[in-house]
Amino acid sequence: MIPRSLSRAVRWLYSLALYGLSPLIWQRIWREHLPGESRRQRLGCLPFPVDGGATLWLHCASVGEVMAARPLIEALTEQCPGHRLVVTTMTATGAERVRSLLGSLAVKHPSRDLQHCFIPLDFPGAARRFVANLRPALAIFFETELWPNLLHACARYGVPVAVVNGRLSPRAFERYRRVRPLLRESLGHVAWLGAKSAADAERFIQLGMAPARTTVVGSLKYDISHDHSVHEESERLRTCLGQRPIWVAGSTHPDEEEQLLDAHRRLRLQRPKALLILVPRHPQRFDQVAELCREHDMTMARRSRGEWPNAGTAVYLADTMGELATLYAVADIAFVGGSLVPVGGHNLLEPAALGVPVITGPHLTNFSDVASVLRDAGALLDIDDAVSLASTLDRLFAEPGECRRLAEAGRNVVEANRGALEFTLQCLTGLLQTGSATASG
């Protein structure tokens, strides 16, 4: 156990470094903003009143984490009717996704108090102010969101902390090892950690998480579900697009779109009617990607402008938010982005759960465990570059039976691995009960 004086010194040095970097941090935060939202939220000021009643606080960093946490958010809304639910995000895109999700949940549960705000920067004062103002009955951090001063503030105010869907890639683990004393102190404030895999659990334990408070529960990503509206809208879109080869590239990144457009050019030499639905990861890049399509001489329709692909359109640019699941369901084949460039990949299970064959590039650091399961089940196709992607797409379009086999295999993987959500909810309920008993005592 680290002496309290050393823990305090390590966190003091961390906070000092944050203050030193604050101009750069504020420059980034200035961009991660939504109109009408006060930037004072980054200093721990709540944009809504907290006038009594118990609160559950769930933090997700960005869009990917929000989407992975969606089953948990829906379940907490259903099963904890006596609690206000507050979801925080770091990014503006994550905030937009949470707003959309909470808005749809509010229609189903009009009496529920569902709120979003931005997480404060991890300065000591901002962290204390946020936790003191919110006073949650339970703080839930999703995946790898371990902010030392926020965790310390939770301990100071007696707020139990859970880390759910705990994930720590080898690359992230190596980074955290350099500041192990800081992480050890932070993890000492975590009452329970639900790890995605045994390997993730072991990495957290090596950083200082107590084995007795660590459980391998599997990935919440497998508990993915979609509203009927997703299927209804996808069927409508597919009918309008007609009978032509359609593939979607979801959550794409810079230097990746060029390769995807090259692959699509090669594919159209064999299949001139093929349509690529291109879904960039970040909305601030929509115009840039549109210009890239023009540079590659790709006829294009932009969804945000109500433009509709005709028979000669090569690319349908999905420059909108919150529609990725619907667009995956429209396509015959899905390529999941962030994998042709060293980003680490994105959620392979979203198209698999919809019964769409999945293709990925080689960079899968963030989803190596999921990729292994899909690969072992024969439900994932790996490509290395634009040439192999084009040839794989052409082969799949020529073999509808193989597409059906891949689709069924992917769907079966998702169904077989469900269950992490139920176990996670049981553990969170136990923490709530323990916290309530402690508060009453």
Q: Is residue 102 part of a domain?
A: yes
pLDDT at position 5 is 61
Per-residue pLDDT, 435: 64
Question: If you average pLDDT over residues 364-391, what whole number do you get?
Answer: 94
pLDDT tens digits, 247-286:
999 999 999 999 999 999 999 999 999 999 999 998 889 9
Q: How far apart are CA 223 and CA 231, in angstroms?
A: 17
The pLDDT value given to residue 224: 86
Tell me whether strands 333-336 and 358-360 are parallel, antiparallel or unpaired: parallel
pLDDT at 3: 60
- CA-CA-CA-CA dihedral for 173, 176, 180, 181, to nearest 10: -150
- Domain CATH for 286: 3.40.50.2000
Instruction: Return d(Cα 343, Cα 250) in angstroms, integer.
Output: 14
Cα separation of 166 and 287, whole Å?
A: 35
Question: Domain check: are 272 and 405 in the same one?
Answer: yes
Residue pLDDT, tens place only, 289-312:
999 999 999 999 999 999 999 999
Same domain, 204 and 267: no
Q: Give the CA-trace dihedral at 103, 162, 145, 128, to 10 degrees.
A: 90
Tell me if residue 393 falls in helix, strand or coil.
helix
Highest mean pLDDT among 6-20, 47-61, 89-103, 301-315: 301-315
Q: Is the pLDDT of residue 429 over 80?
A: yes
* 14 located within any domain: no
Q: Is 134 helix (H, G, I), strand (E, B) or coil?
A: helix
Judge whether 394 lies within some domain.
Answer: yes
Nearest to 410 by CA among 377, 368, 382: 377
Number of structural domains, the chain?
A: 2
pTM (two decimals): 0.78
Per annotation, catalytic residue among 32, 65, 78, 232: 65
For the chain, what is the largest distance between any 2 Cα atoms, rounded to a whole number of angstroms?
73
The tokens 């809208």 sit on which residue?
Answer: 233
Q: Which residues are within 8 A (CB) of 296 and not within 5 positions of it... i.e. 6 or more apart? A: 258, 261, 262, 265
Residues constituting the chain: 441
Strands 315-317 and 358-360, sheet pairing: unpaired
Answer yes or no: do 100 and 184 share one domain. yes
* Domain assignment of residue 43, yes or no: no
pLDDT band, very low/low/confident/very high, at 428 (cuts 50, 70, 90): very high
d(CA 134, CA 54): 9
The per-residue pLDDT for 441 is 43
- State whether 158 and 121 are in the same domain: yes
CB 317 within 8 A of CB 301: yes
Mean pLDDT of 313-328: 94
Domain membership flag for residue 405:
yes
Q: Is 65 known to be catalytic? A: yes
pLDDT digit string, tens, across residues 152-163: 999 999 999 999
Verify that 212 and 292 share a domain, yes or no. Answer: no
CA-based nearest residue to 167, from 359, 295, 344, 392? 344
What average pLDDT score do residues 215-235 get? 89
Q: What is the pLDDT of residue 111?
A: 87
- Across 61-84, average pLDDT: 90
**CA atoms of 410 and 348, how far apart (whole Å):** 10
Question: Tokens at residue 374, please?
Answer: 């899909």
* 373/428 same-domain check: no
Is pLDDT above 90 for 28?
Answer: no
Are 114 and 195 found together in one domain?
A: yes
CA dist 332 and 322 (Å) reads 20
Nearest by Cα to 67 from 414, 378, 410, 347 = 347
Same domain, 408 and 268: yes
Q: In terms of residue numbers, what domain contains 395?
A: 228-416
Residue 424: per-residue pLDDT: 96
Q: Answer yes or no: do 187 and 319 share one domain.
A: no
Torsion angles phi and psi, residue 262, rounded to 5: -65, -45
Residues 180, 299 within the same domain: no
Instruction: Give exposure, 227-249, as e/b (b: 16+ Cβ within 10 Å).
Output: eeebeebbeebeeebeeebbbbb
Six token digits for residue 390: 């084009």
Q: Residue 237 has what pLDDT?
A: 95
pLDDT at 412 over 80: yes
pLDDT at 147 over 50: yes
> In the prediction, which pLDDT does 257 show?
98
210 and 62 in a common domain: yes
Between 358 and 1, name the one with better pLDDT. 358
Domain match, 286 and 411 both: yes
Burial-class residue 308 by CB neighbours within 10 Å (0-12, 13-18, 19+). exposed
149 in any annotated domain: yes
Flag whether 151 is in a domain: yes
Q: Is pLDDT of 440 > 50?
A: no
In 3D, which of 407, 268, 289, 388 has the Cα closest to residue 339?
Answer: 388
CATH number of 165's domain: 3.40.50.11720
**Average pLDDT of the residues of the chain:** 92
Q: Is residue 289 part of a domain?
A: yes
To the nearest whole percent, how much of the chain has pLDDT over 70? 97
pLDDT given for residue 367 in this prediction: 85
